[in-house]
Amino acid sequence: MSPQPTPRPFPLADADLCVKCGLCLPHCPTYGQSQNEADSPRGRIMLMQGLATGRIVPSSTLERHLDGCLGCRACERVCPATVPYGALIDAGRALLAEQRPARLQQSRWISAVLSRRPLRRVLAALLRVYGATGLQALIRRFRLLGHGPLVRLESTLPTLTRPARSKLPVIDAPRGTVAIFSGCVGDIADPDLSADLAALLADCGFTASTPATQTCCSAIDQHAGDPLRAARLASRNLEAFGDGSTPILSLATGCAATLADYPRLVDNGQPFAQRLRDPIAFLLEHSERLRFKPTPLRVAIHEPCTQKNVIRQGEALRRLLARVPELEIVELDASGRCCGAAGTHFVSHPAEADALLQPKLAAAATLAPDVIVSANIGCALHLAGGLRRAGGLSLEVLHPLRLLARCRA
């Protein structure tokens, strides 16, 4: 049995690295929205310092400012003092949760469902019934849910009509093997993606597996401020992927960013984190045997914050897509600002999330792409939901691996 994780104190020394220069403020989407210092990285760091030293007591106002953070880490990317803001905001919410444990009820409930494979299968089966019977199409066509929060939530649901392609290709004399981290939401909402990646990997000469006992990456618990539950999930993934040096490719950039943080969560997380590879960068690196057919599509790239600010492998995607003949590539929003999905933010803060989505929807209307690609499942669902609600914009939002798999020669 894995050792039980122990609570870690708030990293005050990391917070004290902030010199309050304010260079991060113009890059912060929530500060851009409210122009309130308490909604900026600098302000939130000061609030967390106050909380950690007892100078500030928890209050609903404090919770609102800390919970309003998207965790996009745009501030971290531009900070000259290399303040690890992502780790700080997680630790700050954990401090809040120590004093207000009830705030973890919702995340624990969501995580309890998503981290259990049988429950994910039930959810996926329900979604398939909903999609395959035509009920979903009927509800959307005749707007049977009205205009309340339910219709907003429903509009983000994917349309599933058949079980996932569970068989991954097996190739003779592979040049190597890799393990795929599929992610809990991706397992339900985009269940064929492992097969898509495995097909591309097979073209490159690699055999892929998806360890059956893998679970949620722990992002839900980690970002809610529940590091002990997050560490337990991390330990389960360490066991599922075992020791050794097999590269681990995460389908969603949101999961990849959390998996890369395992050394911060669990004592033995470093070897696991060292095996992580971005799937598209991996394909590009081994792409000499990859062949694509001419695909005359205009593709708009939406770069998730976790890709842009944490993993930083977005260039690999552009280079790989450029290998597809006749594919035209455009940027959905060159500002690179967060789309508002941000984990569960688009559900908990719908008005703010929709405001952040607006520039992306406007860009989609202007650029008129055939397809939008996004390597994070949350962004893809949020974008697709926004396009549906806007009406008339019925373009597909795909994971870039799905598009690349469709373009295989």
Name every residue whose Cβ is closer than 8 Å to that of residue 282 and which is 6 or more positions away in sequence. 178, 247, 249
Cα distances (Å, whole numbers) of residue 187 to 202, 206, 274, 345: 21, 22, 24, 20
72 part of the interface to ligand SF4, by CB under 6 A: yes
Q: Which is nearer to ligand SF4, 23 or 395 (CB)?
A: 23
The span of 1-9, 20-28, 188-196, 314-322 binding ligand SF4 (CB under 6 A) equals 20-28
252 part of the interface to ligand SF4, by CB under 6 A: no
71 part of the interface to ligand SF4, by CB under 6 A: yes
Q: Which is nearer to ligand SF4, 90 or 203 (CB)?
A: 90
Among 377, 385, 386, smallest CA distance to 398 is for 377
Q: Are strands 248-250 and 276-277 parallel, antiparallel or unpaired?
A: parallel
- The pattern of x and - marking residues 50 through 69 that bind ligand SF4 according to CB under 6 A reads -------------------x
Q: How far is the CB of 19 from ligand SF4 (least distance, A)?
A: 5
Residue 8 CA to its chain's centroid (Å): 25
Q: Which is nearer to ligand SF4, 33 or 209 (CB)?
A: 33
Three-class DSSP category at 329: strand
Name every residue whose Cβ is closer than 8 Å to that of residue 288 and which is 6 or more positions away in sequence. 204
139 part of the interface to ligand SF4, by CB under 6 A: no
Q: Which is nearer to ligand SF4, 29 or 336 (CB)?
A: 29
164 part of the interface to ligand SF4, by CB under 6 A: no
Q: How far is the CB of 164 from ligand SF4 (least distance, A)?
A: 33
Q: Which is nearer to ligand SF4, 42 or 277 (CB)?
A: 42
The tokens of 184 are what?
């809990």
What distance in Å separates the CA atoms of residue 287 and residue 200, rounded to the nearest whole number? 9
Name every residue whose Cβ is closer than 8 Å to that of residue 2 and which is 6 or more positions away in sequence. 235, 236, 238, 239
Q: Which is nearer to ligand SF4, 2 or 61 (CB)?
A: 61
70 part of the interface to ligand SF4, by CB under 6 A: yes
What distance in Å separates the CA atoms of residue 317 and residue 310, rounded to the nearest whole number? 15
Tell me, by CB under 6 A, how many residues bind ligand SF4.
25
Among 70, 121, 150, 162, smallest CA distance to 385 is for 150
What distance in Å separates the CA atoms of residue 191 and residue 198, rounded to the nearest whole number? 13
210 part of the interface to ligand SF4, by CB under 6 A: no
- The pattern of x and - marking residues 73 through 102 that bind ligand SF4 according to CB under 6 A reads xxx---x-x-x-x-----------------
365 part of the interface to ligand SF4, by CB under 6 A: no
Give the binding site for ligand SF4 (CB under 6 A): 18-24, 27-30, 41-42, 44, 69-75, 79, 81, 83, 85
